[in-house]
Amino acid sequence: MKTFDIPLIYKSSIISGIKEKRRVKDKLKKDFSPTVLDFDNIKVLLSRHFGFCYGVENAVEIAYRVLNENEGKNIYLLSEMIHNPEVNADLLSRGVSFLMDTKGNNLIDFERLLPEDIVIVPAFGTTIEIQNKLLERGINTYKYDTTCPFVEKVWNRAGQIGERGYSVIVHGKPDHEETRATFSHSQEKTPTIVIKDMKEAIKLAAYLRMEKSSEEFFNEFAGRYSEGFDPVKDLVRFGVVNQTTMLAIETQDIANFLKEEVIKYRKLTENEVPAYFASTRDTLCYATNDNQDATYALIKEKADLAIVIGGYNSSNTTHLVELLETAMPTYFIKNEEGLISKKMIKHFDIHNKKEISSENFMGNKNKPTIVLTCGASCPDAIVEGVLVKLLSFFKEHEKLEGVFSHI
């Protein structure tokens, strides 16, 4: 297993120790039950899988190495390195500048860039159009490219099925950096369309069945399809790939639904299906799957509430919140500063897209049971900070080492 050189400010000996103990006991990663931290006055159920994934660690290592090796040079990030405010703030404090915001709007004119300037591509990857713009400025985007290998795997899979004559349907958030990049790379090889959820898959199925016109398609999916896309011929043969941070089960449900629609409409036998539908199951990200499977295990626990940590614009973290809030009160915080007191929490409402405060969030139980997890871009140090802050409300923080020794 590859290890990465991550700055100490993001590490936690306690959290790393818990992860290592669980890894040693469960090397095949078949046990998704949480780690139980049982104190006298509070019980914390820590998710089996959480925190920096392979792609994030790779991106963080490269970014800080570039900083250390290029003192005095102009160093730019295309946009946020990952969706975590602490990591991005630290990079900015060290002199890095962002060329664009997360929506792709320019913050700095590319015309200012010089061939000797350094541009780091973030973990989400980037579009071919942006690569070409930078190339015109004499900048090779592959030199400092931190694109997650699992994102590149999706691009490669889309390209492979495109070369075999299939169109590509991308399940992702249309304005997310990764989805924009995947769409760009896919459309170079084959007709491509982006859908964001099952509701849009159901709408798309009407065009598979030729129940609606091309004009209606162009209006309904404006800005989501590649140039020259023809719903009449380009929805005959296709495969489904995803933004790697989406809910894995939702991607699979969408793929299965569209596959069944093709089978019913064309009255296909089992042997005929591959001619119309390309299997792309292997594009689902292992870290997203592990984190989500561990979250399903948390849902089965009898907990009073859940706290999820991460950047408010983090897609994978938001999906963890969505899952947990189906089973218990769930609070989405950036870091320990969200824990104002034992009675007050400042958190993000994912439905209304704003930060709010809630009183008496822990209720009146003498010994609350609290689920704790975080997204794939959240450092272990922040998880430790939240854990210690929680324990401080119950005067239990000094007992952490003792409980840790019994895991």
Residue 349 CA to residue 303 CA, distance in Å, equals 20
In 3D space, the residue among 310, 306, 317 whose CA is nearest the CA of residue 383 turns out to be 310
Of 265, 284, 303, the position where a domain reaches its end is 284
> Is 279 in the same domain as 306?
no
Task: State the chain's maximal CA–CA distance in angstroms.
Answer: 67
> Is 242 in the same domain as 183?
yes
CATH code for the domain in which residue 211 is found: 3.40.1010.20
> Is 120 in the same domain as 33?
no
Question: Is residue 220 domain-resident?
Answer: yes
Residue 159 CA to residue 180 CA, distance in Å, equals 15
Question: Is residue 276 domain-resident?
Answer: yes
Residue 6's pLDDT is: 93
Residue 175 CA to residue 154 CA, distance in Å, equals 17
Q: Which residue has the tokens 């802050």?
A: 389
Angle (CA) 266-263-170 rounded to 5° is 110
In 3D space, the residue among 321, 291, 296 whose CA is nearest the CA of residue 308 turns out to be 321
> Is 71 in the same domain as 36?
no
> Is 305 in the same domain as 386?
yes
Domain extent, residue 390, equals 8-53+287-404
Question: Is residue 2 domain-resident?
Answer: no
Of 74, 105, 136, the position where a domain reaches its end is 136
> Is 264 in the same domain as 330?
no
Residue 1's pLDDT is: 58
Q: Which residue has the tokens 């320990």?
A: 336
Question: Is residue 196 domain-resident?
Answer: yes
What's the distance, Cα to Cα, between the start and end of the chain in Å? 23
> Is 154 in the same domain as 278?
yes
- Could you report the average pLDDT of every consecutive run of 10 residues in the chain (407 residues)? 87 94 92 95 97 94 95 94 93 95 94 96 95 95 93 95 97 96 97 98 97 97 97 97 92 96 96 94 80 96 97 95 97 98 97 97 93 97 96 83 74
Of 284, 310, 329, the position where a domain reaches its end is 284
Residues with a known catalytic role: 178
- Number of domains within the chain: 3
- Indicate the DSSP class of residue 33: P
Positive or negative, the CA dihedral 152, 10, 17, 405 is: negative
> Is 277 in the same domain as 294?
no
Angle (CA) 153-155-159 rounded to 5° is 115
In 3D space, the residue among 109, 53, 120 whose CA is nearest the CA of residue 80 turns out to be 120
Residue 281's pLDDT is: 73
> Is 321 in the same domain as 273?
no
> Is 96 in the same domain as 36?
no
Q: Give me Rg for the CA atoms of the chain.
A: 23
